[in-house]
Amino acid sequence: ASGKGGVGKSTTSCNLALGFAALGLKAGILDADIYGPSLPKLFGLRGKPRQVGPRMLEPLERFGVQVMSIGFVVEEDSAMIWRGAMVISAITQLLREVAWKDLDILVVDLPPGTGDAQLTMAQQAPLAGAVIVSTPQDIALIDARRGIAMFEKVNIPLLGLIENMSSFCCPACQNVTPIFGHGGARQEAETRGIPYLGEVPLDMKIRQTSDDGRPIVATEPDSIHARHYIEIARNIWATIV
Ligand code: ADP
């Protein structure tokens, strides 16, 4: 989850799901970002899920991860205008009517903020916990705090905070610049007594591979950035088993 949009929540979710798969786990990812599903693009997936039996949908599969997104079943723009009741019903369907195969772990990419989708998820699914993605600067952290408060209120364990776009290493001069500051999420985690799961730098490679539907953990698993994600996945797995 994240407090606000654009902080890299979907990119992180996608690479974490691939990170769990890299650890040898059977991983799935559910795109519950009803208003802006990005997993079809991130995984380079098109096409409709197959129906099995009267109601169930089969997830699509890519890079060894099972993927289900509202983006596979509705036109890209139509969900944008859904009202609360429709969002709740769509999330409930995504939770109950997907034929996942033998999962060890399911990553859920929530919409930003603390609305109906988050509450439905928190109330209807036995969540192992929430991971909050934030950029380091104050403005993003203020929103992240709201997310933290919501999960605390509905008794979902907070597995930790990830600082995304933590620093930028200039490819030309190798200087490291903290564009959005650095260490804000770690400090926030410490202040609130929540585990700090790690940081991911701002890097063009991460953006490019995401946009190309070839996420970095799947296509360059030995790169430094992929190793960051895999390490964070390992941290998360260690806290939930
Ligand atoms: P959100 O799900 O929070 O709205 P996205 O995952 O869609 O955010 O990311 C927003 C944009 O930032 C995308 O273009 C994505 O490729 C880019 N991005 C995310 N994380 C990073 C990163 N660590 N380095 C570079 N670009 C990133």
pLDDT confidence of residue 108: 95
- The residue nearest atom 23 of ligand 1, judged by CA position, is 202
Rounded distance from Cα 54 to ligand 1 centre (Å): 37
Does residue 7 sit in helix, strand or coil? coil
pLDDT at 74: 80
| Ligand 1, residues at Cβ distance < 6 Å | 2, 5-11, 38, 164-165, 200, 202-203, 206-207, 210-211
Q: Residue 62: which of 14, 110, 96 has the closest Cα?
A: 14
Nearest atom in ligand 1 to 4's CA: 3
Residue ranges of the chain with per-residue pLDDT less than 70 = 76-81
The residue whose CA has the least distance to atom 14 of ligand 1 is 207
**Which residue do the tokens 């999420």 mark?**
185
What's the CA angle centered on 208, arms 211 and 71, to 5 degrees? 15
Measured CA distances, 11 to 38, 53, 71, 81, 213 (Å): 9, 32, 16, 24, 11
Give me 73's structure tokens. Answer: 């079943």
Rounded to an integer, what distance in angstroms lies between the CA atom of residue 232 and that of residue 120? 26
pLDDT for the residue 80: 64
For CA atoms 163, 165, 168, 169, give the dihedral sign: positive
d(CA 45, CA 67): 9
Nearest CA to ligand 1 atom 26: 207
pLDDT tens for residues 67-88? Answer: 999 889 887 666 566 777 788 8
pLDDT at 145: 86
Reference 236, options 180, 198, 208; nearest CA is 198
